[in-house]
Structure 1
Amino acid sequence: MNIVTQTIIQTFFKHQSERNLKELGELFSDKIDWYIPGDETKAPWLGRRSNKQEVSKFYELLWKNTEPISAHIENIFIDNNNAVIAGEFSTRMLQTNKIVDSMFFIQITIQDNLIIKYRLLEDSLAVSKSLTI
């Protein structure tokens, strides 16, 4: 296991749970390969991002439109500078007041102590349905 990768992942979740955008942004490389698939017309925070400013915009949009209810990380698998995180979450969509329950998988790659790749897989159908009035 890579201690640096483990530390960055733990720091990432700490800043994310605190909604600390300044500190969270410092964990990302200036250039990033970021992708969260889903219906971007209903959830504009989804999609591709390629730099840390776009990642900050993702969090601004996400936090403006959602309210976390719970999150549980079941496993974190680390192989050198790669990590895969598996878990479940519940989130309220503020536009509709509907709750989404989903499992998730996050793939993160670290280089030079910064996140250079981020993939999030969730129940994108449930997210889309929860944003339908």
Structure 2
Amino acid sequence: MTTRDTVERFFGLLAGGDPDKVAEIFADDIDWYVPGSESLPWTGRRSRGSEVADYLRTLGSNIVPEKNVDEVEALLVDGDRAVMLGHFTRVAKSTGRTYRMPVAMYFQVAGDKIVKLYLYEDTLKVAQAYAE
């Protein structure tokens, strides 16, 4: 599997909505980072592939999944690294606020497993959507 194949598989599994299936594409040891407010339980670092499913479940319990809009505008690949550029639209379950923002996701792949994923998003916009 190429880096592009692995990252495209990740997005396909993500769209399928099964957190356990998504977690299977990650290596045991990972470098995962989603910056953001400490008040948002899905942000922060993770170092084990087994933590991915819990991340997705936590995020899923805080958004309205059926209102997600993920727009992938470009997937740039260079060797074992890839960058996705696009936009995410989410609805905060606790406040009902909709937020749309540009995003970038940085991946590193080893074999057919993702070993690194960093999500770059408008963390202020996300925090404001959840602020009471």
Query: Normalising to structure 1: TM-score of the pair?
Result: 0.93
Secondary structure of the residue aligned to 2:57 is: helix
Distance in 1 between residues matched to 2:53 and 2:38, nearest whole Å = 17
Q: CA deviation at 1:112?
A: 2.2
The Cα offsets for residues 76-124 of structure 1, whole Å up to 9 and x where unpaired, read as: 0000110000000110010111111100000000012110000000010
| Distance in 1, Cα, partners of 2:59 & 2:87 | 17
| 1:38 counterpart = 2:36 | yes
Task: Tell me the CA shift for residue 22 of structure 1.
Answer: 2.1
Spell out the pairing of 1:87-98 with structure 2 (5 A cutoff). Answer: 87-98=86-97
Give the CA deviation at 1:131.
0.4
Instruction: Give the C-alpha shift of residue 57 in structure 1.
Output: 1.3
Q: What TM-score comes out, normalization by structure 2 length? A: 0.94
The one-letter amino acid of 2:70's match is A
The aligned amino acid for 2:101 is S
Higher strand share: 1
1:7 and 2:5 correspond: yes
Identical-pair percentage: 28
Report the counterpart of residue 106 of structure 1 in structure 2.
105
Of residues 39, 54, 58, the one that matches 2:55 is 58
Q: Which runs of 4+ in 1 moved over 6 A?
A: none
Q: Say whether 1:116 aligns with 2:110.
A: no
Tell me the matched-pair count.
130
| In 2, Cα distance between equivalents of 1:50 and 1:87 | 25
- Indicate which of 15, 23, 26 corresponds to 1:25: 23
Q: CA deviation at 1:51?
A: 0.2
Say if 2:27 and 2:114, in contact at 8 Å, map to a contact too.
Answer: yes
Residue range with higher mean Cα deviation, 66-75 or 80-89: 66-75
Gaps of 5+ in 2: none
* 1: CA distance, partners of 2:24 / 2:68: 26
The answer for unaligned runs of 5 or more in structure 1 is: none
